[in-house]
């Protein structure tokens, strides 16, 4: 039995009027306007079998986001691994270990390589397997597909074909890009959630073509056939060009009739659709581009260090080869007992060059331990664990939304500790993106008495500035208390009963507006709020209240305001919207219908929205709302009655940090609307590259000669803790730029509320007014902008006051010129010289271009943070992208490297985790190179000591386990658990963060210092062991040490020396570090005991090497102790000298904490924390500093005046 269709209670009018035309017979073949490249797709509806063969065969609906498959995994994964120079070297060495010229057995070279590469490949495989499982979950989802004879059956998504008719039910995802045919609603609408596409959580309304509305049940598809001709697959989510040939008519297809894959059907029982794009041809898959590959600065520098080590490796190999050449040519004939030349030709006095070349290869393999093979895999393990700690940090967990911080990539952890410049969005990042209707201007009269957050903060700041402290110490000690002054609201303030509505003014509330002199204008203002929108009302059956699914928070606030004023938007149908108006009587509401004749949507380019309606009297009205600059340009001569006063109010609202829109209207007669509608219909039915331009041109014709009604002002509240966070980041020495699409006045006042701007800061506003320029506007504008930049730069350079602070403010139009190649560097130089930079009215592309300019122009680490789709460009362009999971969806988060729920968490992410991760990775890498140099050079010394014979002093198993087991875990614990200071101290002493941007722990002097330490350790280990064991008995039976005993003793000294070194390097110990460090030493002795008992040890002359050979000899233990002490003595001396005479900031803090001075002398701790901050000219601290300077100046002036008076009296 066919399902009964649901009559729509909640509907909406379509964006534009519909049109269709009957094609001329010859047009059906030629298809004018939609032929040529880019418009070649043909879909045979309900005939999918026609798409099994070319030319109509298209991509299957099977999707794959994996990097590998069964066939390509090994070749592609191996290629990725051996793109690393170090791994390529070890691969060559492993291959050569199978030849006679290798100094080691194959096992000692192949096993570490297989372990390291295998571990990395296993990690790649695991990550790819997770992607594969996710793909298969999607591919195996079921959907109802029309098979034949009106039968719909379930079929996996992956088996769908182009042309299939599908039936999607409520709360299901769309399996492919579909042409919407009909729905359970009689008027052919459906509600769609597009969070997976654009991150937006609000519902969108889709509307089927009128001609397909009768296809409302399964039996209607028995004989259904049609043809779709449309654009080729492309990534544009919001455009679609195509036509449907059905029932001998051609109908244009709009984007609103296309249901995109991965969006979800909501509030609709079912829809029918025909598949247009499948699999990787669908728009969501076309948009699934890979994020740009980012490598940290330390990782790039690490590559340079490896090149240095390679150079050292080649150099000592050449020296070794030269020594071998000389030995073979001049001395080997005298060494008859060596039986030269040998059968393999490796020792041939007659061909010394050939033997020297063979030895060069031997040496390159022999000294390969200079290159740390396990470095890459150890760093990967450490970064994954660091990311886990970031994810688990409870201090960055937002309880309100239940959202934790997330490290979406672990490759950039240490980069968090080296940020120089932060580029931030404003709306939703610094502010909440929670709009409250606060003020309005109607017919030249301002309404709304409640103060905004910015006005409250400004009032408190003025009150604070009038207060004069007694001493500098008192100001410093009250720093934390005073910070609360700049928060947006008092914690005990009045809670707003109505979300989105903070308006207070009795003149408009409860129907009082009928007593105002301009009540007709006020009535029209309220109706524009209630009618000019695209929202969907949803009624709660339990409470009876109506909520709105709006396309933006502003629109939702307007509807709430209209409801509170007595004009409640209650429902929407295909034909119009219904408003429950409390007019003329406030206590007796009347439901009025406004028939929708046309709707011109808001876009970032248009910056306005227009709806054309017919009221109950038959009058056609055009209602428009948009940016004031756009609306004012479209006013009629007699429509500017309130322009001057409204402009004044808009400026006041902007100064109060409010977001504003202007409202206007005009009346239309039937003839005027019909003529325009006909032309607009023609523009819609045309196809081609100029279609959008034609639509815009025709729309612009209608949106002229408007009459200004008034303006709205909504408040976008500051997020909790934003001013304090900015202050702490400024104290840490970070520069903060704000890039926003808001008007200049709003951005400036948000800057004051955030303490990015303050009184006394000199503002440099760079702008251009094209209207006042000569005919060649672009050239004149460019010259004008360049002149402004040059003058401002000169002003900064000539400023003699060291405390002077400058703020650069520039708008989007001016930025267009400033970012051109011949001017961008001058602009950057000016911006770098300013304490804060605010870019207003910028587009998403300009955000990305500014980020690129700062990144490339300064050469320093940049971090971009935002919450919306318009921030994706700058997030991906910056060295580090941080997404905020806010009201604007998850698109910014999905494109980011790290995600947080609130801007204030950025403080902890950078100042705590960034600082820790930078120092951990830097110290870890330096230590890695130290230990490998200390170990690898002993092999070189021994080879030189043995006549460059290519003989290794160590057993193959010793060398195999050195990097893999005996020294790898302590260095991982260093990279994961090390803390120079705890998290609270990091926040109290933000200047510690500057150790990262200044790169104090990974600059070349420190790197070469660690290499020098490794060189010294290798010399001590080798020569002390050789001197001690060379020619004296070391066992009770009088035996002297053989090569195995010397090698084992030498390895013991290396193990002790490098593990004691890492213990000295650490500042923070837990039981884990102790267990891993001393456990590694213990593992060495356990290995010797077990290895010495194995049958294999007999072949290597290591049978019971520890139990019977070394442990009974006191000289073995005393040598280990002596070498360990001497090896670590220089480092111990260095750090002792540094802490005593030239301590770093964290050294001072560590000693204060160790001796508990922070408890015994609280004032001293506050004084030190006050000193331990970077000199900054922005933030709350800068305001305190300015106040202190002002106080001192007044006291000095007063003192000078008093002295002068004394002199006058004496005279």
Q: Which two tokens stand for residue 838?
A: 């605010």
Nearest to 885 by CA among 396, 260, 491, 204: 396
Please report the DSSP string for 136-173 in residue order. Answer: HHHHT-EEEEEEETTEEEEEEGGG--TT-EEEEETTPB
Q: Give the residue carrying structure tokens 């331009």.
A: 693
- What values do phi and psi take at 611, rounded to 5? -130, 135
CA atoms of 324 and 351, how far apart (whole Å): 12
Taking a C-beta distance cutoff of 8 angstroms, is the pair 439, 447 a contact?
yes
Catalytic pick among 177, 425, 521, 1145: 425
3-state secondary structure of 1117: helix
CA distance 559 to 430: 25
**Phi and psi torsions of 634, nearest 5°:** -110, 15
Placement of tokens 């609201």 in the chain: 489
Phi-psi sector, 427: left (phi>0), alpha (psi -120 to 50), beta: beta
- Which residues touch 40 (CB under 8 Å, ≥6 apart)? 232
The angle at the Cα of 47, spanning 45 to 51, to the nearest 5 degrees, equals 100
Please report how the helices 643-655 and 744-753 are oriented relative to each other, as an axis angle in degrees rounded to 10: 30
Q: Which two tokens stand for residue 504?
A: 């207070």
Pairing of strands 419-424, 735-739: parallel
789 with 826: CB under 8 angstroms? yes
Of the candidates 596, 846, 860, the one whose C-alpha atom is nearest the C-alpha of residue 16 is 596
Distance CA 33, CA 228 (A): 14
Catalytic annotation on 633? Answer: no
Tokens 């030249």 locate to: 444
Q: φ and ψ at 792, to 5 degrees?
A: -65, -40
Contact 176, 153 (CB under 8 A): no
Cβ-based neighbours of 249, under 8 Å, separated by 6 or more:
20, 21, 22, 23, 211
Q: 149: Cβ–Cβ under 8 A, 6 or more apart, which residues?
A: 222
- Which residues does residue 205 pair with via DSSP β-bridges, in sequence order? 191
Q: Which two tokens stand for residue 285?
A: 């898959």
Angle subtended by helix axes 1043-1065 and 1071-1092, to nearest 10: 170
Using DSSP's 3-state secondary structure scheme, residue 811 falls into strand
- Classified as helix, coil or strand, 689 is coil
Phi and psi (nearest 5°) for 533? Answer: -170, 180
Note whether 1037 and 1069 are within 8 A (CB): no
Q: Which helix (H) or strand (E) covers residue 180, if one does? A: strand 177-183
3-state secondary structure of 503: coil
Q: Please give the DSSP secondary-structure letter assigned to residue 967.
A: S
List active site positions.
Answer: 425
């Amino acid at each position: 039995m066919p399902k009964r269709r649901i009559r729509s209670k909640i509907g909406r009018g379509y964006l534009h009027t519909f049109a269709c035309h009957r094609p001329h017979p010859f047009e059906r073949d030629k298809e004018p306007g939609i032929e040529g490249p880019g418009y070649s797709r043909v879909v045979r509806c309900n005939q999918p079998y026609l798409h099994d063969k070319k030319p109509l065969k298209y991509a299957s609906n099977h999707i794959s986001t994996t990097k590998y498959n069964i066939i390509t995994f090994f070749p592609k994964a191996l290629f990725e691994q051996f793109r690393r120079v170090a791994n390529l070297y070890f691969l060559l060495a492993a291959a050569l270990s199978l030849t006679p010229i290798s100094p080691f057995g194959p096992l000692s070279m192949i096993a570490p390589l297989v372990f390291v590469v295998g571990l990395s490949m296993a990690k790649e495989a695991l990550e790819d397997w997770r992607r594969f499982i996710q793909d298969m979950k999607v591919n195996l989802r079921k959907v109802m597909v029309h098979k034949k004879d009106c039968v719909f059956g379930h079929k996996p998504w992956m088996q769908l074909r182009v042309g299939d008719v599908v039936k999607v039910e409520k709360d299901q995802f769309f399996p492919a890009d579909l042409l919407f045919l009909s729905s359970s609603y009689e008027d052919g609408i459906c509600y769609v959630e597009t969070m997976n596409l654009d991150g937006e959580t609000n519902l969108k309304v889709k509307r089927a073509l009128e001609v397909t509305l009768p296809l409302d049940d399964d039996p209607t598809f028995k004989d259904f056939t049609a043809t779709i001709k449309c654009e080729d697959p492309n990534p544009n989510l919001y455009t679609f060009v195509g036509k449907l040939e059905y029932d001998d008519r051609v109908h244009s297809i709009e984007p609103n009739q296309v249901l995109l894959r991965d969006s979800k059907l909501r509030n609709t029982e079912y829809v029918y659709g025909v598949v247009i794009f499948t699999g990787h041809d669908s728009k969501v898959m076309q948009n699934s581009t890979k994020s740009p590959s980012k490598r940290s600065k330390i990782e790039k520098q690490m590559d340079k260090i490896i090149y240095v080590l390679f150079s050292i490796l080649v150099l000592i190999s050449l020296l070794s080869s030269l020594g071998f050449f000389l030995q073979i040519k001049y001395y080997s004939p005298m060494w008859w007992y060596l039986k030269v030349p040998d059968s393999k030709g490796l020792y041939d006095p007659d061909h010394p060059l050939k033997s020297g070349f063979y030895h060069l290869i031997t040496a390159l393999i022999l000294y390969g331990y200079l290159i740390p093979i396990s470095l890459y895999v150890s760093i990967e393990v450490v970064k994954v664990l660091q990311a886990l700690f970031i994810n688990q940090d409870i201090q960055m967990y937002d309880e309100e939304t239940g959202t934790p911080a997330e490290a979406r990539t672990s490759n950039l952890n240490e980069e968090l500790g080296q940020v120089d410049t932060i580029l931030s969005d404003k709306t939703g990042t610094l502010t909440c993106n929670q709009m409250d209707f606060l003020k309005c201007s109607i017919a030249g009269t301002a309404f709304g008495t409640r103060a905004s957050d910015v006005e409250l903060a400004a009032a408190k700041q003025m009150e604070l500035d009038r207060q004069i402290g007694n001493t500098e110490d008192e100001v410093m000690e009250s720093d934390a208390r005073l910070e609360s002054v700049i928060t947006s609201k008092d914690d005990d303030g009045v809670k707003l009963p109505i979300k989105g509505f903070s308006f207070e003014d009795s003149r408009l509330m409860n129907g009082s507006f009928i007593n105002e002199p301009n009540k007709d204008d006020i009535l029209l203002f309220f109706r524009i709020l209630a009618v000019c929108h695209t929202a969907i009302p949803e009624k709660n059956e339990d409470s009876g209240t109506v909520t709105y699914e709006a396309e933006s928070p502003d629109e939702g606030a307007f509807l709430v305001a209209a409801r509170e004023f007595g004009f409640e938007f209650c429902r929407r149908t295909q034909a119009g919207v219904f408003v429950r108006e409390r007019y003329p009587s406030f206590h007796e509401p009347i439901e009025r219908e406004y028939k929708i004749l046309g709707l011109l949507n808001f876009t970032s380019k248009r910056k306005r929205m227009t709806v054309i309606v017919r009221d109950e009297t038959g009058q056609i009205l055009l209602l428009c709302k948009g940016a004031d600059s756009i609306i004012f340009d479209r006013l009629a001569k007699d429509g500017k009655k309130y322009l001057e006063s409204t402009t004044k109010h808009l400026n006041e609202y902007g100064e109060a940090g409010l977001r504003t829109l202007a409202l206007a209207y005009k009346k239309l007669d039937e003839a005027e609307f019909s003529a325009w509608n006909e032309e607009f219909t023609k523009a819609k039915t045309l196809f081609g590259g100029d279609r959008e331009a034609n639509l815009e041109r025709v729309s612009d014709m209608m949106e002229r000669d408007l009459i200004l009604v008034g303006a709205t002002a909504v408040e976008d509240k500051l997020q909790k803790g934003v001013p304090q966070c900015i202050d702490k980041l400024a104290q840490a020495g970070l520069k903060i730029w704000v890039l926003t699409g808001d008007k200049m006045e709003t951005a400036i006042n948000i800057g004051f509320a955030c303490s990015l701007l303050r009184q006394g800061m000199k503002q440099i506003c760079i702008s251009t007014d094209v209207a006042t320029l000569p005919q060649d506007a672009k050239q004149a504008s460019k010259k004008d902008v360049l002149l402004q930049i040059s003058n401002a730069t000169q002003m900064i350079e000539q400023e003699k006051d060291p405390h002077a602070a400058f703020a650069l403010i520039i708008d989007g139009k001016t930025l267009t010129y400033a970012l051109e190649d011949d001017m961008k560097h001058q602009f950057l130089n000016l911006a770098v010289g300013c304490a804060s930079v605010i870019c207003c009215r910028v587009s998403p592309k300009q955000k990305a271009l500014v980020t690129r300019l700062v990144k490339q122009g300064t050469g320093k680490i940049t971090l971009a943070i935002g919450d919306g789709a318009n921030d994706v460009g700058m997030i991906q362009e910056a060295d580090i992208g941080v997404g905020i999971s806010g009201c604007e969806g998850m698109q910014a988060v999905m494109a980011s490297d790290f995600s947080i729920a609130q801007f204030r968490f950025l403080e902890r992410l950078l100042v705590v985790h960034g600082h820790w991760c930078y120092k951990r990775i830097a110290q870890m890498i330096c230590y890695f190179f130290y230990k490998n140099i200390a170990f690898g050079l002993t092999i070189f010394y021994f080879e030189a000591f043995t006549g460059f014979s290519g003989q290794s002093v160590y057993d193959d198993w010793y060398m195999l386990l050195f990097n893999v087991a005996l020294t790898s875990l302590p260095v991982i614990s260093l990279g994961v658990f090390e803390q120079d200071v705890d998290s609270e101290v990091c926040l109290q002493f933000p200047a510690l963060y500057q150790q990262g941007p200044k790169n104090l722990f990974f600059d070349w002097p420190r790197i070469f210092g660690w290499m020098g330490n490794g060189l010294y350790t290798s010399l001590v280990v080798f020569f002390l062991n050789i001197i001690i064991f060379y020619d004296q008995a070391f066992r009770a039976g009088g035996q002297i040490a053989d090569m195995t005993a010397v090698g084992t003793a030498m390895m013991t000294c290396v193990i002790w020396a490098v593990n004691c070194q890492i213990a000295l390097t650490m500042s923070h110990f837990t039981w884990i570090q102790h267990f891993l460090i001393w456990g590694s030493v213990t593992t060495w002795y356990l290995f010797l005991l077990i290895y010495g008992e194995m049958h294999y040890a007999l072949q290597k002359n290591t049978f019971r090497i520890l139990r019977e050979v070394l442990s009974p000899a006191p000289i073995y233990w005393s040598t280990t102790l002596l070498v360990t002490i001497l090896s670590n003595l220089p480092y111990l001396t260095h750090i002792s000298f540094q802490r005593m005479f030239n301590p770093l900031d964290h050294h001072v803090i560590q000693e204060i904490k160790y001796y508990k001075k922070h408890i015994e002398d609280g004032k001293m701790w506050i004084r030190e924390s006050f000193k331990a901050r970077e000199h900054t000219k922005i933030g709350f601290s800068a305001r305190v500093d300015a106040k202190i300077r002002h106080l001192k100046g007044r006291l000095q002036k007063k003192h000078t005046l008093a002295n002068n008076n004394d002199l006058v009296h004496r005279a």
